[in-house]
Chains A and B, each alone.
Chain A
Amino acid sequence: MDILYLPELGQFALILALVMACVQALLPLAGSMTRQPLWLAYAQPAAWAQFALLTVSLVFLGVSFLVDDFSVAYVANNSNSALPWFYKLSAVWGAHEGSLLLWLWILAGWTFAVSFSRGLPAEVLARVLAVLGFVSIGMLLFVILTSNPFDRYLPQIPSDGADLNPLLQDPGLIFHPPLLYMGYVGFAVTFAFALAALWSGKLDTAWARWSRPWTSVAWAFLTCGIALGSWWAYYELGWGGWWFWDPVENASLLPWLLGTALMHSLAVTEKRGLFKSWTVLLAIATFSTSLMGFFLVRSGVLNSVHAFANDPDRGLFLLLLLGVTIGVSLLVYALRVPTLKARASYSLISKDVFLLANNVILVVATLTVLLGTVYPLLMDALNQGKISVGPPYFNALFVPLMLLLGVFMGLGPVSDWKSMRLDKLRKKIWLSGAISLLLGFILLPWVYDGSWSIWVALGLTLFFWVVTTSLRDIWEASRGKKGWRGISRSRWGMFGGHVGAALIVLGVTMVANYGEERDVRMAIGEPVKVKDYEFTLTQLGEREGPNFSADTATIEMRDREGRLYKTLTPEKRNYHVRGMPMTQVSIDWGPLKDIYVAMGEPVAEDAYAMRIHYKPFVRWIWWGAFIAGLAAILAVTDRRYKVRVPE
């Protein structure tokens, strides 16, 4: 077999995958309508075949990159013979067409995993697979009709490629998109479970139990993906921020917020059989925002740092796909939901209501972020001028909402299901409240900085409040018969998730209030002072990399006593093929602070514009997110999800 035919074979595999997706979607649908159990059984092998075919397709695209087949347009536009092999591979998802293929492959992978879930009645499984099949059909059509990664440049084959965007030549790119997509697409599984349940009319606690692990895993991936993206932006863009309220970041935050709400409302539905229709609606909304994020990013309607030359024509197809998905699922919802009735009751002070508050706050937060993100589009469509919504809008609304959410984050774990006496709740939280107020609100802001500010005080109070209530909950759980070993993994998962969130709060509070960012002109030998440290540029030089040349700088950093603390070596690179400059920052990182130095531009023979940032506790934001993500995975390994559900 001549290796040059790989792209064609890859495309055939893609088309066959579409055929398999049709089988996977349509036969179970027809089978359940005409009551032919045999037809239902087609879903599983079709899902396996689809996964195998998409794997072939993705691998062949990868091989085309590795062998530098520049006759393939996508390879020619996003690779170069001088690119290191691992970036050639990660370039597979470095632009539009390939990232879509990755999206599809991950969807097929999730479907494959679902098809092995034990304890699921055959009919439910077939329905879930069918819904996933429909999602897959939509996306496969999109790829094959508008964004084929295997298109060729024939007969004039470029002699070399246009190179991968230098911003993407970074280890972060290898992991960020796959993790993020695992999260986005993972919510398709929850969505499929919800629709399958509506379809069958059996929306019971078993349904919630089946959905929970998938939701948690998807949420864990999305959390880690977003955190990794934030970290990547921090060191790669050279601006020193960790969140910009950029539309594309917001697009990933929307499903995250709704997914968080969904995890909590699924808990209520599973334990108490309440909020069923609300939970289903959340499941639909979560996946819809995943798709919408995809539309916003890929259609090019948004003005964003992620807007790498897009094609607006594709937007229409995606909008159509989004409309059909939301429309059909809401239709099914409207037809089926009135038959649902909850029998359980609950009182005002109960875990049920605190979790409801969590849901309301998260949904309101989602709506405010959504509004800020699409408002410019709306105004433009209505000819009200070109506007942009700045970070102050998001901060003004998001921060208070999260503070409010934090109050309930503390109340939730220590409260009882169904109902609780006020004095019992008071007994459980007074100590936490006292510690939080004393340490967080009054003492620590003074100790750390010698001054007091309301935002630091609120942030630290929240941090202590969430941590101490979580500790209280774990301590109480440990007083059971089996002691510490009797604590279930899902409880540890909740503990880790909440502590992770508290760490994020701590990091954000510290870096937002005590961080210092300075743009300075640095001449050789002239010291510059930033936050108790003295920075001196000692040397400017040049160096050649494999596919770039760079200006280099050596900066000595001294502490208050004048001792040499660290030597920092940032670079300004120029990538040859695209002629694109890139800032390579130098970071002295640590648990309590990051010192961040980036080169701007030369301003004189012996002087350079430099960006020097002091970022206290910034790493805790990402560590908190990773801890929360791992905790969600831990919760999934809980024994009760392994118990076979009677049919």
Chain B
Amino acid sequence: MTPKRKQKLWLLGLMLGGVSLAVGLTLYALSSNINLFFAPTQIVAGEAPQDREIRAGGMVVEGSVQRDTESLQVRFAVTDNNEEIWITFDKILPDLFREGQGVVAVGRLNDRQELVATEVLARHDENYMPPEVAEALEAAGQMPDQAPYAKNKSSDKSY
């Protein structure tokens, strides 16, 4: 083998090694860091795993928000208009969190099938509904006509 060939082989080997290492690490990191979304109906039916982080969401049930007066602990229910689940959270809720709005929470289920959230997301546009939530509502056959999402869609087409 000529020295030049040898050198190219080295380079090629290094690159291949690096790339396969990167791919391996990537797939590993990916598989341990994805959060599946579950609608309240699925969670009540016991389809969601207990031992890993999931995302859950729906519309915040009117009048369900219960606040602890001595700490930041807050409890609320979300619904896909079919089933409800409870979510507890001990941090500050996002600005756009409101009863009747779509939210998505990230966390783990406890023994009582309540989601202990580490993060609650409500989006930065009052007309915007998280797509998962919209789909969950549709799947439950309960997409209300007066939902903000529907309203926005129709106003978009009005001109």
Contact = CB atoms under 8 A, between A and B. Distances in A.
Given A519-B91, A579-B126, A600-B92, A389 B159 contact: no
Interface residues of A, number: 56
A360 B126 CA distance: 43
Nearest to A598: B92
B131 interface: yes
A303 B128 CA distance: 11
Interface string A555-595: 00000000000000000000000111111000000000000
A167 B124 contact: yes
A336 to B, nearest CB: 23
Nearest to A385: B36
A583 B35 CA distance: 28
Interface in B51-96: 53, 55, 67, 69-72, 90-93, 95-96
Interface stretch (A127-135, A364-372, A447-455, A543-551): A364-372
B50 interface: no
Contact of B95 (A308, A360, A519, A581): A581
B149 to A, nearest CB: 8
Contacts of A386: 36-37, 55, 131-132, 135
B30 interface: yes
Given A360-B18, A611-B92, A309 B125 contact: yes
Contact of B159 (A153, A580, A611): A153
B26 A397 contact: yes
Contacts, number: 123
A345 B95 contact: no
A582 B125 CA distance: 11
Contacts of B69: 603-604
A609 B92 contact: yes
A609 B72 contact: yes
Interface string B123-158: 111111011100100000000000000001000100
A516 interface: no
A360 B18 CA distance: 9
B84 to A, nearest CB: 19
Interface in A506-564: 519-521
B22 interface: yes
Contacts of B96: 580-581
A281 interface: no
A520 B92 CA distance: 8
B70 A392 contact: no
Contacts of B53: 390
Nearest to A393: B33
24 contacts: A151-B159, A153-B159, A237-B124, A238-B95, A303-B132, A307-B123, A308-B125, A347-B7, A353-B11, A364-B19, A368-B22, A368-B26, A371-B30, A379-B34, A385-B36, A393-B29, A396-B29, A396-B33, A397-B29, A582-B95, A600-B72, A601-B93, A604-B69, A609-B92
